[in-house]
């Protein structure tokens, strides 16, 4: 008797748990994609995407946001540098979420999806299942698994073959790097930092599916997509602008821009080299500084390539000007009369710069335009060293 009673209680509790996890939407519920425009910070420059569920009859007005990370994560910065930081899905009230982006003066657009009741319910269930502690976390990847690609991937997971994206929704033929630079001015420190850190894998042409790592293209792809079993209808039935930004396109201050700063650095290197030629001497501190700085940068880039999970930092040919082994030559080249092999090493560095130019002109990898004065100055200095160390 007791066993039957205990079993009945267990079944009752399981039913309560199941019903708590399953919330039926009303027929008037709407599922939307929210797209937010760029902000001030570098990590905001590319915009943001999220799902928006509205059901006044059930009191549901929620945003499902895949772009959340936890600063309290143990070893946060180490995991971020290694590409091992976990992002997560978070469900929040819609109005504070929208107000946050309005306060940042970032435009907000809503695309109401043309889904059947069962499709809305399936998507709602999918998101709520993803909210569970064991499902909410995922390893972030800038190009292939971020807040924008999650919108596309969730729709595909829920709608399956009923969803059809138009492959030519964008007629552009751009590389990943070119797509990034649409949002970040080429003569800004943010653009220069990314151009140094990311490798040749970002200089391949992206297809329409891959374009959707950017929220703008998730918006455009959804606007042209179709859904339905058999006869197709537009995926988006209505589009609203929830907030229009007054933000103007950012133009960097030229006097603090990378191009001007590295132009000054390049002229200093060339000026010291000309002085050394006239005085028939060698400024050893300059040579030690050049090899020391480029060596340290090379070590950091090597770690990003070989010691992290970042997909975008592989095959980085910035190592052709920032060669990591230069750090070991600093003390030697600072001597008044270096060993004979040091001259051969300088010739090697000059050959690496020639390879860099070849990679750039043939389209293997694009380098930061702000570095052009530096590359010219390094070439002139290395040519001078070939003669000075002879």
Q: What is the pLDDT of residues 46-72, one digit of tens each?
A: 999 999 999 999 999 999 999 998 777
Dist CA 290 CA 313 (whole Å): 23
Q: If we measure between CA atoms, which residue out of 368, 370, 389, 355 comes closest to residue 287?
A: 389
Indicate if the pLDDT at residue 150 is higher than 70: yes
Res 230: pLDDT: 80
Res 77: pLDDT: 63
Dist CA 111 CA 115 (whole Å): 12
**C-beta atoms surrounding 15 within 10 Å:** 10
Q: Higher confidence at residue 341 or residue 23?
A: 341
Q: Higher confidence at residue 266 or residue 80?
A: 266
Dump pLDDT digits (tens) for 188-197: 999 999 999 9
Dump pLDDT digits (tens) for 257-280: 999 999 999 999 999 999 999 999
Phi, psi of 217 (to 5 degrees): -85, -25
> What's the CATH number of domain 28-170+208-243, 1.10.1060, 3.40.50, 3.10.450, 3.90.1720?
3.90.1720
- Mean pLDDT over the full length of the chain: 91
Res 321: pLDDT: 98
Q: If we measure between CA atoms, which residue out of 375, 154, 384, 374 comes closest to residue 277?
A: 384
Q: What is the DSSP string of 200-239?
A: GGGGSBP-TTGGGGSHHHHHHHHHH-EE-SSS-EESEEEE
Domain limits, the chain: 28-170+208-243, 254-388
Instruction: Provide the phi-psi class of 160: left if phi over 0, else alpha when psi is between -120 and 50, else beta.
Output: left
Q: Indicate the pLDDT class of residue 22, thresholds 50, 70 and 90.
A: low
* Beta pairing class for 236-243 and 108-113: antiparallel
Indicate if the pLDDT at residue 350 is higher than 90: yes
* Beta pairing class for 137-139 and 108-113: unpaired
- Three-state SS string over 93-126 comes to EHHHHHHHHHHCCCCEEEEEECCCHHHHHHHHHH
Read off the pLDDT of each residue in 289-309 and give the average, rounded to a whole number: 96
Question: Alpha-carbon Rg of the chain, whole angstroms?
Answer: 28
Dist CA 266 CA 381 (whole Å): 10
Lowest model confidence (mean pLDDT) among 25-39, 157-171, 209-223: 157-171
Dist CA 69 CA 52 (whole Å): 19
Indicate if the pLDDT at residue 374 is higher than 50: yes
Indicate if the pLDDT at residue 115 is higher than 70: yes
Lowest model confidence (mean pLDDT) among 71-80, 106-115, 187-196, 337-346: 71-80
> Within 13 A of 100's CA, how many CA atoms are on the CB side?
10
Res 165: pLDDT: 93
Indicate if the pLDDT at residue 390 is higher than 70: yes
Residues 6+ apart with CB under 8 A from 73: 79, 85, 86
Residues paired with 49 in a beta bridge: 35
Res 76: pLDDT: 66
Dump pLDDT digits (tens) for 214-257: 999 999 999 999 998 888 999 999 999 999 999 887 788 999 99
Q: If we measure between CA atoms, which residue out of 275, 121, 130, 143 comes closest to residue 204?
A: 143
Indicate if the pLDDT at residue 127 is higher than 90: yes
Q: If we measure between CA atoms, which residue out of 277, 246, 368 comes closest to residue 318?
A: 368
């Amino acid at each position: 008797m007791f066993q039957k009673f205990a079993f009945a209680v267990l079944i009752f509790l399981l039913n309560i748990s199941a019903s708590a996890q399953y919330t039926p939407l009303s027929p008037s519920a709407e599922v939307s994609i929210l797209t937010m425009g760029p902000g001030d910070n570098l990590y905001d420059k590319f915009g943001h995407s999220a799902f928006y569920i509205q059901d006044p009859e059930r009191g549901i007005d929620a945003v499902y946001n895949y772009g959340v990370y936890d600063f309290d994560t143990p070893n946060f910065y180490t995991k971020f540098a290694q590409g091992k930081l976990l992002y997560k899905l978070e469900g929040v009230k819609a109005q504070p979420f929208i107000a946050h982006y309005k306060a940042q003066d970032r435009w907000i657009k809503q695309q109401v999806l043309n889904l059947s009741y069962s499709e809305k319910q399936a998507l709602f269930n999918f998101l709520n299942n993803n909210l569970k502690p064991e499902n909410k976390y995922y390893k972030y990847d800038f190009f292939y698994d971020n807040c924008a690609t999650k919108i596309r991937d969730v729709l595909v997971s829920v709608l399956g073959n009923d969803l059809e994206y138009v492959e030519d929704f964008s007629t552009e033929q751009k590389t990943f790097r070119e797509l990034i630079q649409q949002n970040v001015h080429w003569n800004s420190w943010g653009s220069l930092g990314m151009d140094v850190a990311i490798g040749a894998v970002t200089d391949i042409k992206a297809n329409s599916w891959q374009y959707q790592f950017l929220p703008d293209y998730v918006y455009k792809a959804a606007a042209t997509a179709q859904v339905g079993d058999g006869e197709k209808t537009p995926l988006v039935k209505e589009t609203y602008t929830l907030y229009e930004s007054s933000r103007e396109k950012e133009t960097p201050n030229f006097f603090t821009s990378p191009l001007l700063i590295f132009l000054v650095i390049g002229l200093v290197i060339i000026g010291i080299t000309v002085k050394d030629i006239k005085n028939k001497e060698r400024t050893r501190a300059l040579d030690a500084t050049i090899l020391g700085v480029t060596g340290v940068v090379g070590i950091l880039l090597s770690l990003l390539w070989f010691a992290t999970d970042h997909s975008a930092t592989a095959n980085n040919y910035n190592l052709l000007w920032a060669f990591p082994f230069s750090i070991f030559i600093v003390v030697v080249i600072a001597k008044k009369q270096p060993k004979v092999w040091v001259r051969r090493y300088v010739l090697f560095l000059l050959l690496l710069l020639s390879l860099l130019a070849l990679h750039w002109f043939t389209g293997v990898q694009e380098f930061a335009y702000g570095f052009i004065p530096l590359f010219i100055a390094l070439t002139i200095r290395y040519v001078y060293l070939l003669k000075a160390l002879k």
